[in-house]
Amino acid sequence: MRKPPKVALLIETSNAYARGLMHGIVAYMREHRPWSIYLTEHSRGDLPPAWLGKWDGHGIIARVENDRIARALENLKIPLVDVSAARPLPTLPWVETNDVEIARLAAEHLLERGFKNFGYCGDERFNWSNWRRDAFIEAVRARGGECSVLSRSQSGQPDERGEIERVAKWLRRLPKPLGVMACYDLRGQQVLDACRIHGIQVPDDVAVIGVDNDELLCDLADPPLSSVIPNAHRAGYVAASLLDRMMAGQKVKAEAHLIDPLGVATRRSTDVLAMDDRNVAAAVRFIRDHACEGIRVRDVLKAVPQARRRLEAQFSKLVGRTPQAEITRVQLNRVKLLLAETDLPLDDIASRAGFVHAEYLSVVFKRNFGMPPSHYRTLNQQKRPPALRRN
């Protein structure tokens, strides 16, 4: 029998996104062929590890974050796949989150809650933060909103308290109510800390959404942090597939493979409706609470009594969709998460999302996303893999 190929992972293990990448890599191995994995502790910004110059393996998947790592990898002359947004080696195949779609989801999440004033709290050191910033600004401005931007302090390495004070000073001068997108969850936690220390009410005065859905970090935040859910598992799976093809001698183009996020995990940091029209706010909340019970617009009107034409006009003006479109949107978001996170058959998913028939769900799903539910599940399903085998 052939020995399994030796593959090194230059991926840090300290954050949820990177761990998701490795889960996806292991899922690919489980479904195809085993690899002998070499994994050591590695952090963003580290020097090339001492073992790298003598690596005699068959391939590497790496978060290539700096020029020194890039040069060391380039000299190896073996198949490489990059899973970092820095991209100092444009000649490599590249797998990354779709940062434009991440920002669009965050903006939509805040816009549908009625916010008109926005902030973006980022970190200019990283391409992914800058791409998210630009896309977030574009998304909120397209709906008539204004956005202020705060980046990380560039004066050396600021202490945590000093950075939180900078964030608080920025927040205090912005108009309220304010919807803030943080470039990732740790930055979102800083925004929440600034609000708590300085008496800014969350989510009534400032609502905050992060990125990565690091569940431990989000749940420990005060209040718990809403977050966009990237599909790190899928990114790792795609990276492993590309590397496997390269190790088999196939030619793989040096192009970007951008992976769409799964949705938004809503927690208390954005559990608010910043709308002057109380009827529309009540209708939105009723839909979010009951859409997956199979409600119709007539049920919304029973809960929020008024003329249907008036509700639909005001709802469309403030939310940007009709009440029926909002019901369908909430249902389909539930379907997407169930497809990605469970093995439930489509009949059960349809029932849990408020669709009477799985066949009708399939029609609506394909009309909205351009693919049947089964194909979406194949592309996005996350399975808990076995532990990585270390050499």
List the CATH number of the domain containing 367.
1.10.10.60
Identify whether 363 is part of a domain.
Answer: yes
Residue 157 has what pLDDT?
Answer: 55
Q: From CA 118, how far away is CA 143, in angstroms rounded? A: 12
Residue 166 and residue 208 in one domain = yes
Q: From CA 180, how far away is CA 118, in angstroms rounded? A: 6
Residue 76 and residue 137 in one domain = no
Residue 304 and residue 250 in one domain = no
Name which of 35, 101, 95 is nearest 63 in CA terms: 95
Residue 195 has what pLDDT?
Answer: 96
User: Domain limits at 79?
Assistant: 6-97+232-261
Residue 285 has what pLDDT?
Answer: 86
Identify whether 115 is part of a domain.
Answer: yes
Amino acid letter at 300? V
Identify whether 200 is part of a domain.
Answer: yes
Identify whether 64 is part of a domain.
Answer: yes
Q: From CA 260, how far away is CA 116, in angstroms rounded? A: 26
CB contact set of 350 (below 8 Å; sequence gap of 6+) = 335, 356, 357, 358, 360, 361
Residue 93 and residue 184 in one domain = no
Residue 66 and residue 107 in one domain = no
Give the 3-state secondary structure of residue 211: strand
Residue 181 has what pLDDT?
Answer: 98
Residue 20 has what pLDDT?
Answer: 92
Identify whether 186 is part of a domain.
Answer: yes
The residue whose two tokens read 């202490």 is 159
Residue 187 and residue 156 in one domain = yes
Quick one: 299 exposed, middle or buried, by C-beta within 10 A (0-12, 13-18, 19+)?
middle
Q: CA distances (Å), 96 to each of 61, 82, 259, 316, in order?
A: 12, 8, 6, 35
Residue 47 has what pLDDT?
Answer: 79
Q: What is the CATH number of the domain that holds 167?
A: 3.40.50.2300
Residue 155 has what pLDDT?
Answer: 57
Identify whether 114 is part of a domain.
Answer: yes
Identify whether 140 is part of a domain.
Answer: yes
| Low-confidence residues in the chain, pLDDT < 70 | 1, 154-158, 382-391
Residue 273 has what pLDDT?
Answer: 79
Residue 112 has what pLDDT?
Answer: 87
Residue 170 and residue 207 in one domain = yes
CA triplet 353, 359, 365: central angle to 5 degrees? 60
E strands, 221-380, where? Answer: 226-229, 256-259, 263-265
Residue 11 and residue 40 in one domain = yes
Residue 257 and residue 243 in one domain = yes
Residue 9 has what pLDDT?
Answer: 94
Residue 389 has what pLDDT?
Answer: 40
Residue 382 has what pLDDT?
Answer: 61
Residue 84 and residue 61 in one domain = yes
Identify whether 385 is part of a domain.
Answer: no
| Structural domain total, the chain | 3
Residue 129 and residue 157 in one domain = yes
Residue 254 and residue 331 in one domain = no
Residue 159 has what pLDDT?
Answer: 75
| Token representation of residue 114 | 């009625």
